[in-house]
Amino acid sequence: MERVTLTQILNHEVTQKFVKRSGLAHAVAVSEYAFKLAKVHNVNPDLAVKAAFLHDVGHYTWYRNGQWDYNLYKENDIHAIKGAERAHKLLIRLGEHPVNAKKIALAVLLHTDSYLPEGELQLDPLQHVVALADKKDEEPGGNHHYKTISDEEAEARLEKLDRLVEEAVEAEKEDTALAQSASVS
Ligand SMILES: [Fe+2]
Ligand SMILES: [Fe+2]
């Protein structure tokens, strides 16, 4: 099965509409952080970068009288729930393996606990990496959602990440093959 790439995800109309709404620059930056953190936490980099890129795809704009209204947002926001569903549908349409699509959707669902009742969430390593990567790019007052990036720069940075992910996946396969041949001989 061919890997679904970040650039394929970027160029899908759902991404163009909804990731741009919550901030393409933020999504790209969080994917880059997630790639680095995936190495440290021994998480599949492919899943980490995709979940990170799509983590805010469920955002809705909460306006009152033409102005962004933070209280309205806080009261009504379910962007992680909406995003999990949207990311899942988009990935399945692009041909992602259903097991991976589910893991990515769960990491999107749990990247924030701001919409959940009080309590402790037990995150698995992938979910933890995506939540951490999001925090790393956070700016006061939600300013990270308003950073700008050109389409060309976003595509170039995601292409680079795609290459890095594919190299990491290949290296992992070689390591596994080596370990297997060593255990046979
Ligand atoms: Fe978020
Ligand atoms: Fe975010």
User: What pLDDT score was predicted for residue 115?
Assistant: 86
User: What pLDDT score was predicted for residue 185?
Assistant: 67
Considering the chain, what percentage of its residues have pLDDT values greater than 90? 72
Alpha carbon of 168 to ligand 1 centroid (Å) = 27
pTM, full prediction: 0.93
Match 């006061």 to its residue by tokens: 140
Residue predicted with more confidence, 90 or 63: 90
Residue predicted with more confidence, 120 or 185: 120
Q: Which residues surround ligand 1, an ion (CB under 5 A)?
A: 56, 112
Q: Is the pLDDT of residue 39 over 90?
A: yes
Q: Domains of the chain (ranges plus CATH)?
A: 6-184 (1.10.3210)
Alpha carbon of 107 to ligand 1 centroid (Å) = 11
* In the chain, alpha helices (H): 6-10, 13-22, 24-40, 45-54, 70-76, 79-94, 98-109, 125-136, 151-184
Contact by Cβ (8 Å): 110, 126: no
**Which range among 29-33, 60-64, 72-76 shows the weakest confidence by mean pLDDT?**
60-64
